[in-house]
Amino acid sequence: MDYLPIFLKLEGQRCLVVGGGEVAARKVNALLRAKGKVSVVSPELGAELTTLADAGRIGFSRKGFEPGDLDAIHLVISATNQRAVNESVAAAARQKGIPVNVVDCPELCSFIFPALVDRYPVVIAVSTGGASPVLARLVRARLEAALPAAYGRLAKLAEACRQRVKTAIPDATRRRRFWESTLQGGLAELIFAGQEVAAQRHFDRLLAAESSDQPSAGVGFVSLVGAGPGDPDLLTLRALRTIQEADVIVYDRLVSPEVMRLARTDAEKFDAGKASSRHTLPQEEINQLLVRLAREGKRVVRLKGGDPFIFGRGGEEIETLMEQGVPFQIVPGVTAATGCAAYAGIPLTHRDHAQSVVFVTGHSREGLGSTVDWERLVNPQQTLVIYMGLQALPRIRDELIAHGADPGIPAAIIEQGTTPRQRVVTGNLSTLYELATQQQVTSPSLIIIGHVVSLHDKLTWFQTQGREA
């Protein structure tokens, strides 16, 4: 290593910044965040530093740098664009043994600034030893994505409960194991979701269980997660994290293999597939399964295609969890309508073509049965999106036309949208079913009816190996 990574305590320490421009201002702010006592030396002062100086938050001397400025200084940063000034700051600092950083001149520095991921009090510093600050920032971006924004709150809770845990679990090894499981389970998820009260309650239960004979029994956690329409990159950050951490995944037929591949290889996987013709697990059994797995103390992910609250029966599953007092969270996903529309180049609304959009299901039991208000669905200024509509399409077509829909209104069916297997078949309301049948379109597929479909020809951007019809 060329540099020793350390975290320097600056509180109350006198720091000097040479230079008064924007770069200097950035460094001043970094030092102030770490509670340093900052003064600036520069013949000129930019707007930002002037504000800080006027507010008395920094000291300021309007003059050029002299080595004497380093008296009683603990750390110095040179942020000028004058090579000679930077060199003399570096030389004077070295002579006095004061840590010095010269912005953008690694060869003049005795210390360098890392790229930061700040989840105070958790702080991660990334450095490439000056080789490539851009690369350091790319690494930082990855870490930013991997660490929930509320990571710091988790550290705070751990700090607040540290003594209690020490008393409750005197054995150091057991205590470490307790923290390991606690800090990555449901407790963390509750904190990340901003549910601090529930998190505290969950923590109390964990600690009580740990002190009893049956550690971790009954204190698992369920995440009801939307897996999106197929492309794994469409997962939310929270969905990705919960999938990667899950002990058990109960998944639907619609969840794509690409998404399932993100799970831990040792995670238990339950297929709760629900092809409309072959109900693998009845809903009630799925509900009970989730409760049982959580009671075993596991991190359970109930993974559903698209969004759990759009034709996903997510509501029924959480009702049971609530009744049984199982802690849970709901992670929304990209629903098939928005995912498929985007990947098919069909905007669901458009100023010229559609001011509203309606999602309906063609599944006879829960959707377009006898109670449907067909007239409300017939509106040339509205986009109609039909989930699970392939089988019922002839009837839907006939009803819409009988209720006044234009048989020539553009319509599309998107099969396996957002995946490498995506196919889009376009036609109009009267022809779509025949076209789809000819092309042997199968489930899952989504129907979009409305003038916006005419934009598909112009806006197609996602080309797949699938046979584009």
Q: Which residues are catalytic?
A: 252, 274
Specify the stretch interacting with ligand SAH by CB under 6 A; choose among 95-103, 206-214, 239-247, 300-308. 300-308
* Environment class of 18 (CB within 10 Å of its CB; exposed 0-12, middle 13-18, buried 19+): buried
Contact range with ligand SAH by CB under 6 A, out of 98-106, 107-115, 399-407, 443-451: 443-451
Q: Is 367 in the site for ligand SAH (CB under 6 A)?
A: no
Contact flag: residue 36 with ligand SAH (CB under 6 A): no
Give me 462's structure tokens.
């996602």
User: Is 433 a binder of ligand SAH (CB under 6 A)?
Assistant: no
Residue 347 near ligand SAH by CB under 6 A: no
Separation of alpha carbons 313 and 217, rounded Å = 27
Beta strands, E only, 305-399:
328-331, 356-361, 382-387
Q: Residue 345 interacts with ligand SAH (CB under 6 A)? A: no
Nearer to ligand SAH, 194 or 420 (CB): 420
Contacts of 381 (CB under 8 A, 6+ apart): 353, 354, 355, 356
In the complex, what is the shortest distance from the CB of residue 307 to ligand SAH, in angstroms, rounded to a whole number? 4
Angstrom distances, CA of residue 143 to CA of 114, 220, 239, 275, 404? 14, 27, 16, 38, 55
d(CA 288, CA 317): 9
- 341: contact with ligand SAH by CB under 6 A: no
Token readout for 30 is: 């970094």
Does residue number 332 form part of the binding site for ligand SAH (CB under 6 A)? no
The verdict on 317 binding ligand SAH (CB under 6 A) reads no
449 binds ligand SAH (CB under 6 A): no
Closest approach, Cβ 321 to ligand SAH, in A, equals: 18
Pairing type for strands 221-226 and 328-331 reads parallel
The verdict on 20 binding ligand SAH (CB under 6 A) reads no
Nearest distance, CB of residue 29 and ligand SAH, angstroms: 44
Return the residue nearest ligand SAH (CB atom).
306
Whole-Å CA distances, 389 to 236, 364, 412, 437, 452: 27, 9, 12, 13, 19
Are the C-beta atoms of 387 and 337 separated by less than 8 Å? yes
Q: Across the chain, which distance is largest between two alpha carbons, in Å?
A: 91
Shortest distance (Å) from residue 433 CB to ligand SAH: 15
Find the binder of ligand SAH among 42, 86, 383, 416 (CB under 6 A).
416
Number of Cβ atoms within 10 Å of the Cβ of 428: 18
* Among positions 88, 184, 236, 443, the unique one binding ligand SAH when judged by CB under 6 A: 443
Asked whether position 441 contacts ligand SAH by CB under 6 A, the answer is no
Distance CA 339, CA 30 (A): 41
Site string for ligand SAH, 199-228 (x = CB under 6 A): ------------------------------
By the criterion CB under 6 A, which residues form the site for ligand SAH?
A: 229-230, 254, 304-307, 310-312, 335-336, 340, 387-388, 414, 416-418, 443-446
